[in-house]
Structure 1
């Protein structure tokens, strides 16, 4: 069966396998041809308007008489500029552009009655496939926005000191948070572990009192209990917490994940309002997670629902512990920000956990929780200063990227997977540019949401793709189509058995020999189909037999005909100032002219406005002689000997160059023995100037002499300065001595305590008369 018959039949049953192979080859050829199109035209032409709208950069001309005789319908599909250049009026141009409309766009406001932190709130976007569209989203955290804080505490026995401390800190927590807002509520809940082995002892006495010491009294273990729903009453917080007593379990990890899950999903019981929601989790140990429940024979995954009984207790023996991913999704969907207040021993584990849970921070808790107020305050500031804009529920095939414009220096210059700003102050506005790109047509309008982590406000985005054409000209059995087809968007869709641009001819039974070139065995040279005895070419091919391709010319610098000519039937037709197979060669010679107005300094030829230097010359304009000093060293040595012997000839070593001696002495670039010389190109000829070398001084003696002189000079200077300072010191000391001597007053005074010495001598042999 002929190829065009097979193509026009639209029925595989009427085609034999060879014909199918021909169809595959045909469409593969078309695809290959089209793959060149975007690089040249910016559009891959399509056969009908709807497919044209799905091709990025394409427009469609719907005017009935736009095509010339023999042109295929895909010639209606091209870039808008190309279609206009070819004569299509703008009114007949189908080229819907991406656009968006704000459906709700309230201004940012911190008024407590009408708080708006995210703008816009709702918009509708129209997309063309592969053509991105951008819009702006702004966020400003409202000053004084209400806060709900739920305090979740580990009541295992090791937290005994912490419980006593927390009983008196409720008022302090409220006072601290009220520095940020007047509207604060606080609640309290506690957890221990699942009441099953190996977590909690099943002995009757131990179940009743799990304390490890008989000196203490503990309440029975439990998974989670809501003790106080959110309230503004600090006294009520203290009263309810004071009633609590410590509990105990067997292993170190606790049922913290069970507690977080119930605190997040039990919205009505906890009393969460549509405000900033903070969950404070305090513990001195690690946590159980999904899979640990199997140790107690608990295999059913957690269903993510609220299971508190009338007393606020959660029985954790039915469901396994939640997974980290499940917990992260629940917290994010309920806009709850998590603060881990944990002791130093387990802080590393919670840092790793925090990386997996958005809008969570970790603080180091003292052993008795005495710093919990300060910790909550710092953690709240950290959470509030980080703004993360993300998308939720995006339809398949839609790509969303962000650029962040932050007040600080951490704005993102490139497109990111989410918007992110750090160190944002309260009441400070940040802006994000959101880019949407669709890679295929969406089935109707699709919706997704943009939201800032930790707040409930969202931006609702509805998206539709512009993939259909509503030209408004549909005519069945149209006169324009010779009553043999339907007119739509300017093109005829022919009935079976009819062919042609306007359905003007009948489908032949055999191949039309008029579509074969000379002795060719390929219909329309393999680049088109035969319609009404004429070739209808595909892609960039034209001509009577589609044998002419205006995109197959040689390229230069990745440009067709180097950008300096027009491709006509595979051959470049260059402009007047270019030549060559790819018009890559300029016929000008201005870049070859040297400063002395010689072409390539007289030492080369100018080709394509570039110098092609002769041997022994280099440079952009052939003005440089490589290794000139070495090349003419033998010549200069001969000249030096000739100066001593006038009969010596240097024609062999110097050739046609005659060195000239200049007044000296002088130091040129090249040096040999007692002369220096330089080699230059002047008016196309090599010129050598040489002269005697300046007399030299022995640098070694200079260095040694200067070094010794410097040392002697410095030594003498040091001796003189030190002797001068010493002399000044002596003079000051002598002057001080004389002054002290003058001020001394020598007076004769009698000391009353002093008695002169007396001596009494007695002769033992002398006996005094009685």
Structure 2
């Protein structure tokens, strides 16, 4: 590692350490202020994670008044409180049931969530950290309850579902070996205006030619079973019914199917799926008023011996929030399998339910199997930790999920069988129960998604110190003048007494009068002792660092200058929150010296004549362009070079615009020297110009006495440019032009020669490869013609 890298690393480490220490100091200051406001032990340990209580017995009144019973641990140790007398309880975490995750088998139930149970003694406002593990197990039990609308229009779907029972079981067997099917049906409340109560219509709500069964609210048809044939037979044997209005009583059926766990046969653990299949909308809370049913749904199981819902005519339909509540409490995933005309309605409805999904049924329900598989794969590939009974308790979750970077999340997606994920859980009890007897509570963390598993947290709140228990109290203690109970090192005074030792006898009327003596007179402010002390027997007993009749004075809260109160003893002192400055200083923090010594410029003027001395510092005028401690710096000012240029020209070189007479009369204090300083500093300024003959001349000027008197030194020799050789330049240009022309002609000649040689070589090659054909030209004709006389045909000549 290079030295530079070592330096950077050391610097970074130092900065980080400094920042950490700074933050730590700020946190300690805040915690100290918070803790010191607590007046008893139970309030102290609930006030924050850094607060601790000192129960040491202190008999000295002055020491008792100066001691903070509730403070941060470091201050207690520094103040001399023995470790044995410091009450600073910490959490106690005890996993009482922690079986590692495992896959399911015929002999063992699967476990995906661990641990399963923990006992925690928790201190309020102090985070508790623990880990929760989840592993997607093989052969996890799946319970699927099919709840079907049995109105007449669903007949084709009923027949198709009966035929698909075995196929559903076979397809799910490829996912898990432990799969069970159940079946239930519903219509609506059997009363007007939902169902016709006319006797013939009540017995057969369909037409005479198309008979169907009498309507009912909800009926459980088949408990969960692994026999798909029985499922198919039960579905086919369930008769179709009918009703009057379009909406159905599906929510009544959903609630009963969820809460009647023993009747339906829901297992634990298992992934619970409830499919509600319908082609109609739903009734919800308030619709029962049309039939005079006004009693709200109690969300309890009401099934008779024949598995009918008994409270259909006595209780209103459940509301959407009630359905959500039972689904969440029982870890059941609701799936809507609805026809196309109802898809949008139920799709919006499913957004209100945990993990709920909506699928569209084909006209003959042929896609039910695919719908069940898709829904199961969606919910089984994710885990989302959820909590209940969290009033006064906050949870934070962090996990890497399937990645490499931890993030704040309680959800993990894309899990596959055998994969595991770990969540870091931070739990904080934000307040103690209002009822002191409620010292414990049970909170559950569940993975959701229809799983019956959960982590049970048996919480015991540490909202009371052991020294406050009756067995450790001393009633009528001599330390409390026999008029109070000695508890955790302090006195809890009996009614009618007050004070640190219960030394003040008071009643209701006198208590108000005593409190009034500790408030500002003739003021609407009801603050007692400025919130910086206690009112004891009509007088304020102030916290350390505070004083005054109402604890209104603090000699350590003044403004700081150079990290010292009021600039330190040489400048001033802090008196009751305000700086009293010594002679020669002023300002809120005594930061302003009244002397103008630091504002005098080298010219002898205050701020060089371009500003004002305020609080011992020059404030330069912006329009002047000057800056610096005494307003002597002016980067944008032209200076005196331009003003003195003409005088230097006429005096030193007899050039420029001035006449000799004007020059002699007005240009003085100019001296010729062999050489001058070629740079400017605080005293001497350097000037450089071109004279009429294009030669440069140099000179210096400096102030003498004050700004109006200057002395100029001019360099005797000027710097003239060398004379150019015109003839050499002309000849060089001509030679260059000629050389460039010859070069261009040479290049042209070379290029044309190369091209000619290439063309000639090409011609020679083609001539050598030419082939001449000796056959007769088909378009050639002889120049002579031959004719025969037919008279002599056949005769020899």
TM range, smaller chain: 0.5 to 0.7
CA drift of 1:581 comes to 4.8
Aligned to 2:57: 64
Aligned to 2:223: 229
- Structure 2 SS opposite 1:167: helix
Tell me which of 86, 89, 98 is aligned to 1:93: 86
Contact 1:302 1:322 in 2 (8 A): yes
Aligned to 1:306: 301
Bigger CA drift: 175-184 or 129-138? 129-138
Q: 1:570 & 1:358 partners in 2: Cα distance? A: 59
Aligned to 1:490: 489
Tell me which of 94, 102, 106 is aligned to 1:109: 102
Aligned to 2:727: none
Work out whether 1:420 is the aligned partner of 2:411: yes
Structure-2 change in CA distance of 1:606 and 1:473 (3 Å): farther
Work out whether 1:252 is the aligned partner of 2:246: yes
Structure-2 change in CA distance of 1:571 and 1:138 (3 Å): farther
- Structure 1 SS opposite 2:90: coil
Structure-2 change in CA distance of 1:60 and 1:312 (3 Å): closer
Work out whether 1:280 is the aligned partner of 2:279: no
Contact 1:135 1:434 in 2 (8 A): yes
Structure-2 change in CA distance of 1:638 and 1:222 (3 Å): farther
Aligned to 1:157: 152
Q: 1:180 & 1:317 partners in 2: Cα distance? A: 41
Structure-2 change in CA distance of 1:434 and 1:499 (3 Å): closer
What does 1:34-49 correspond to in 2, within 5 Å?
38=30, 41-49=33-41
What does 1:152-551 correspond to in 2, within 5 Å?
152-211=147-206, 214=209, 216-274=210-268, 275-314=270-309, 316-394=312-390, 396=391, 398-408=392-402, 413=407, 419-427=410-418, 428-441=420-433, 443=436, 444-450=438-444, 451-453=446-448, 454-471=450-467, 474-475=473-474, 487-491=486-490, 537-542=541-546, 549-550=553-554
Aligned to 1:80: 73
- Structure 1 SS opposite 2:147: strand
Bigger CA drift: 231-240 or 538-547? 538-547
Q: 1:336 & 1:38 partners in 2: Cα distance? A: 47
- Structure 2 SS opposite 1:338: strand
Structure-2 change in CA distance of 1:490 and 1:188 (3 Å): closer
- Structure 2 SS opposite 1:345: helix
CA drift of 1:358 comes to 1.5
The one of the two structures with greater contact order (alpha-carbon pairs below 8 A, sep at least 6) is 1
Contact 1:497 1:506 in 2 (8 A): yes
Contact 1:421 1:430 in 2 (8 A): no
- Structure 1 SS opposite 2:68: helix
Show CA shifts across 1:100-125 (max 9, x none). Answer: 33333333333541533323333333
Show CA shifts across 1:632-684 (max 9, x none). Answer: 59998998999995439999xxxx99784489xxxxxxxxxxxxxxxxxxxxx
Aligned to 1:125: 120
Tell me which of 38, 41, 44 is aligned to 1:52: 44
Bigger CA drift: 491-500 or 165-174? 491-500
CA drift of 1:378 comes to 0.8
CA drift of 1:478 comes to 5.8
Contact 1:447 1:460 in 2 (8 A): no
CA drift of 1:182 comes to 0.3
- Structure 2 SS opposite 1:55: coil
Work out whether 1:136 is the aligned partner of 2:147: no
CA drift of 1:128 comes to 3.9
- Equivalent residues, number: 615
Contact 1:149 1:230 in 2 (8 A): yes
- Structure 2 SS opposite 1:448: strand
Bigger CA drift: 464-473 or 141-150? 464-473
Contact 2:542 2:551 in 1 (8 A): no
Q: 1:273 & 1:743 partners in 2: Cα distance? A: 102
Aligned to 2:752: none
Aligned to 1:553: 557
Aligned to 1:145: 140
Q: 1:579 & 1:101 partners in 2: Cα distance? A: 64
- Structure 2 SS opposite 1:332: helix
Work out whether 1:570 is the aligned partner of 2:577: yes
Bigger CA drift: 639-648 or 89-98? 639-648
Show CA shifts across 1:71-98 (max 9, x none). Answer: 4286322222222222222222122234
Show CA shifts across 1:611-639 (max 9, x none). Answer: 966644589999998994xx759998998
Q: 1:325 & 1:744 partners in 2: Cα distance? A: 107
Q: 2:138 & 2:264 partners in 1: Cα distance? A: 25
What does 1:524-673 correspond to in 2, within 5 Å?
537-542=541-546, 549-550=553-554, 553-554=557-558, 570=577, 581=588, 615=622, 616=624, 628=636, 645-647=656-658, 660-661=687-688
Structure-2 change in CA distance of 1:563 and 1:102 (3 Å): farther
Show CA shifts across 1:571-614 (max 9, x none). Answer: 6799xxx998559899xxxxxxxxxxxxx999999999999666
Contact 2:36 2:69 in 1 (8 A): no
Q: 1:530 & 1:346 partners in 2: Cα distance? A: 71
Contact 1:447 1:462 in 2 (8 A): yes
Structure of larger gyration radius: 2
Contact 2:608 2:632 in 1 (8 A): no
CA drift of 1:136 comes to 3.0
CA drift of 1:278 comes to 0.9
The answer for unaligned runs of 5 or more in structure 2 is 1-27, 511-516, 594-606, 650-654, 668-682, 691-706, 708-758, 779-797
Structure-2 change in CA distance of 1:492 and 1:219 (3 Å): closer
CA drift of 1:99 comes to 4.3
Contact 1:280 1:341 in 2 (8 A): yes
CA drift of 1:379 comes to 0.7
- Structure 2 SS opposite 1:69: helix
